[in-house]
Amino acid sequence: MHKLELKKVVKRFGEKVMAVNNANFFVDDGEFVSLLGPSGSGKTTTLRLIAGLEKADEGEISINGKIVNALSPSERDIAMVFQSYALYPHMSVYKNMAIPLEIRKVSKAKIKQRVTSIAEMLGIPNLLDRKPRELSGGQRQRVALGRALIREPNLFLLDEPLANLDAILRHRMRGELKSLFHHVHGTTIYVTHDQEEAIAMSDRVIVMNYGLIQQIGAPEEIYKRPINKFVALFVGTPQINIFEAKNAKSMSKVLSSQKLIALEKLLHKGKVEIGIRPENITIEKGPISGKVILTEPMGANILVSVEISLNSERIKIKSLVPNTMRVSEGDDVNLSLKESEMLFFLNEKRVEI
């Protein structure tokens, strides 16, 4: 069983920077969990704390029930894959993959069997004699993964391993990574700032910002039921529309009478905002009129920006429509918003109404 748990973990840099603030979470055996957030959110520092490359100022980190705070990285039995691949340039692919086992003084026959097996799994058996400089970015990434897999560690820690790849290769590799780690039943913590990557690959996602864990949940939960405005805005492409509801009357074209009554009560408690994702806004015969100010082709769909009047002011709202729809900049259109998919935020925290 390969499990990880963090309890009230804190990491400071100097007196003013709280890089990780009271982190509490667990990763179960065989689970693939992503740490997701913008630059400076604390996700890489959290990964380094787990690896033992940074020392926690407070809290406990345990692997398989054993507290590892005082253990060195090598004593934690963790394999880490970096964004830079960190391959030895003077060694062949075979040697790069074999070195973790050579350090452990594994027999040459066993090493050859493991390297050959992992190379076959990764589709690089024909590259074993090459040097890293002779490989493409995707091939170097596979070698780095192979070096991690060959050890059969307690945990796999991946720090933005696909960041240096082009878009097409990155998309293909994320599918291969997901399949690979489920195949080997590897307990994996994956750091990324790419929310599409996290949503596509993970069993669960941990969203971070300014050192704080904002939300932990399955990808669908994070997307459909974000805990606050930050998570709603950070997760989802195209980005969610969010606009302020200044009074119930101004929302009469948007909400049913039942929702309007609930909104009226909510407005007495603070600032209320409504969020709705572009795919839940249709351009048709709807109650809200507006003018198209921008169209952005997105393959099978078009992202349409429409200026509408709401709260006695002009706001921009985006709709995702099929590319078969004929819509152009300057067109007068009508919008319909799917009420069942609306999110409500009170002082930036999501609430049910």
Same domain, 40 and 186: yes
Same domain, 102 and 160: yes
Same domain, 135 and 54: yes
53, two tokens: 């490359």
Residue 206 DSSP SS3: strand
- DSSP run (H or E) holding 92: none
Domain of residue 342 covers: 241-351
Number of domains in the chain: 2
**For 184, phi and psi rounded to 5 degrees?**
-90, 0
Buried b (16+ CB within 10 A) or exposed e, 93-129: bbbbbbebbeeeeeeeeebeebbeebbebbebeebbe
Query: Could you tell me which of 69, 76, 75, 68 has the C-alpha nearest to residue 55?
Result: 69
Taking the whole predicted model, whether its pTM rises above 0.85 is answered as yes
Contact between 58 and 33 (Cβ < 8 Å) = no
> Which of 195, 214, 234 lies at the terminal end of a domain, its last residue?
234
How many H-runs (helices) and E-runs (strands) does the chain carry?
9, 18
332, two tokens: 């007068």
* pLDDT confidence of residue 1: 59
* pLDDT confidence of residue 226: 98
| CATH number of 301's domain | 2.40.50.140
Q: Which residues contact 320 (CB under 8 A, 6 or more apart)?
A: 238, 278, 279, 281, 298, 301, 302, 303, 304
Buried b (16+ CB within 10 A) or exposed e, 302-314: bbbbbebebeeee
* pLDDT confidence of residue 286: 81
Condensed to tens digits (0 to 9), the pLDDT of residues 151-184 reads: 888 899 999 888 877 778 788 778 878 888 888 8
- DSSP run (H or E) holding 233: helix 229-234
Same domain, 148 and 258: no
CA distance 6 to 129: 41
Given a cut of 50, the residues of the chain with pLDDT beneath it are none
CA distance 252 to 125: 64
What percent of the chain has a predicted confidence (pLDDT) above 90?
71
Query: Could you tell me which of 332, 351, 334, 335 has the C-alpha nearest to residue 343?
Result: 351
Same domain, 112 and 28: yes
